[in-house]
């Protein structure tokens, strides 16, 4: 039985270290038994709604498959098809959704929408990515790190690139689990103050190092884990040219940059990747890359999360 203190997940900050460990350990069991899904009825009779303002491949597929494999049902709601698109308030939408289904995953532009949904829904709300956070991705990332490294404490993770939604939650998640972080982020693209504050506090508490540097080589030197993401997140397309000239070539993860990491280092990327931009194909397809386990683990760890939130 996984018990979670909060009945929503807006950011990885909402989970304690123990809760994260429990979710991952249940997910590892589920992954080990992945051939035996057909009789699992843990969430029989439960329905998960997925309300998406933005496109998705992995988040939608993994949540829908997770519910199916746990005996439950899903309803996909493109937010353009809802009365929300004609001006119905988030509050009224949240109250309505709560009348019919047992849980909501929302992928939104503004993180405030997640907060408002969570405040007004009577059911658990899961952030499936907002402009600020991507907690489900970070659960899968931490699970992948644990699978490959068998521990968290004392590892060194290098983040290369934009201080975006994935970066924000990853920094918080690493600090919580005792992973040291060196983030190479260009000036003006750092995570927001509120994130830096939480990461700094959590790192102090756990006795880990957290530094932001400008030089990718400095971050990657002796790293156990190297992570990047697109520097043009959904909604930032208009800044494409400006961002390209800031991030390429300096912040591109290529073979040369990876050669500074430890011999047994792993490379991670939440996907979708823009090959030839933030990462080169030799790295993402190379022998240090664990991106396909990382993507698969979304399914297992979200099953674990859904069980934690819904099997009461
Ligand atoms: N990593 C991730 O969230 O992928 P999607 O945008 O395809 O859901
Ligand atoms: N930072 C990316 C992550 C996509 C999964 C974005 O927000 O588009």
Q: Is residue 1 part of a domain?
A: no
Q: Is residue 160 part of a domain?
A: yes
Task: Confirm whether pTM is higher than 0.95.
Answer: yes
* Residues 195, 125 share a domain: no
What does the pLDDT read at residue 312?
64
Work out how many domains the chain is built from and give that number: 2
Ligand 1 center from residue 130 Cα (angstroms): 11
Q: Is residue 269 part of a domain?
A: yes
* Residues 12, 117 share a domain: yes
Q: Is residue 76 part of a domain?
A: yes
Q: Is residue 3 part of a domain?
A: no
Q: Are the CB atoms for 194 and 262 separated by under 8 Å?
A: no
* Residues 119, 143 share a domain: no
Q: How far is the C-alpha of 71 from the C-alpha of 221, rounded, in Å?
A: 46
Does 227 sit in the ligand 2 pocket, CB within 6 Å?
no
**How much of the chain is helix, strand and coil, in % rounded to 5?**
45, 15, 40
* Residues 283, 155 share a domain: yes
Give me the percent of the chain exceeding a pLDDT of 70.
99
pLDDT at 37 over 70: no
Q: What is the CATH number of the domain that holds 130?
A: 3.40.50.1370
pLDDT at 38 over 80: no
Split at pLDDT 50, 70, 90, the class of 39 is: confident
Which among 232, 310, 269 is positioned nearest to 9, based on CA atoms?
310
Residues assigned a catalytic role? 107, 134, 137, 229, 270, 298
Q: Give the pair of three-digit tokens for residue 156.
A: 């060194």
* Residues 159, 57 share a domain: no
Identify the domain containing residue 27 by its residue range: 8-134+297-310
**Per-position DSSP letters for 191-258, written without gaps between them:** PPHHHHHHHHHHHHHHT--EEEES-HHHHHTT-SEEEE--SS-TT-GGGHHHHHHHHTTTT-B-HHHH
SS3 65: helix
The ligand 1 atom at the shortest distance from the C-alpha of residue 270 is 1
Q: Is residue 186 part of a domain?
A: yes
pLDDT tens profile 161-188: 999 999 999 999 999 999 999 999 999 9
């Amino acid at each position: 039985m996984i018990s979670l203190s909060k009945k929503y997940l807006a950011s990885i900050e909402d989970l304690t270290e123990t809760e994260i460990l429990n979710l991952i350990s249940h997910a590892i069991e589920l992954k080990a038994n992945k051939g035996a899904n057909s009789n699992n009825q843990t969430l029989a009779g439960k329905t998960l709604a997925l309300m998406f303002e933005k496109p998705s491949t992995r988040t939608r597929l993994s949540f829908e498959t997770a519910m199916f494999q746990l005996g439950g049902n899903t309803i996909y709601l493109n937010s353009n098809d809802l009365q929300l698109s004609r001006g119905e308030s988030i509050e009224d939408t949240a109250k309505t959704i709560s009348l019919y289904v047992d849980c909501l995953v929302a992928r939104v532009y503004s993180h405030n929408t997640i907060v408002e949904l969570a405040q007004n829904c009577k059911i658990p709300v899961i952030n499936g990515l907002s402009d600020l956070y991507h907690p489900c991705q970070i659960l899968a990332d931490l699970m992948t790190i644990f699978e490959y490294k068998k521990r968290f404490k004392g590892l060194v993770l290098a983040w290369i690139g934009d201080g975006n939604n994935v970066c924000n939650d990853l920094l918080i998640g690493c600090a919580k689990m005792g992973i040291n972080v060196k983030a190479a982020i260009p000036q003006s693209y750092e995570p927001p103050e509120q994130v830096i504050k939480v990461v700094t506090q959590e790192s102090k508490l756990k006795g880990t190092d957290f530094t932001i540097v400008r030089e990718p080589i400095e971050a990657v030197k002796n790293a156990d884990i190297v992570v990047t993401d697109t520097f043009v997140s959904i909604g930032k397309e208009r800044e494409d040219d400006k961002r390209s000239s800031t991030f390429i070539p300096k912040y591109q993860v290529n073979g040369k940059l990876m050669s500074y990491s430890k011999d047994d280092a792993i490379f991670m990327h939440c996907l979708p990747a823009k090959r030839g931009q933030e990462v080169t194909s030799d790295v993402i397809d190379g022998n240090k890359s664990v991106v396909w386990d990382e993507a698969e683990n979304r399914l297992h760890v979200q099953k674990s999360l859904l069980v934690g939130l819904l099997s009461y």
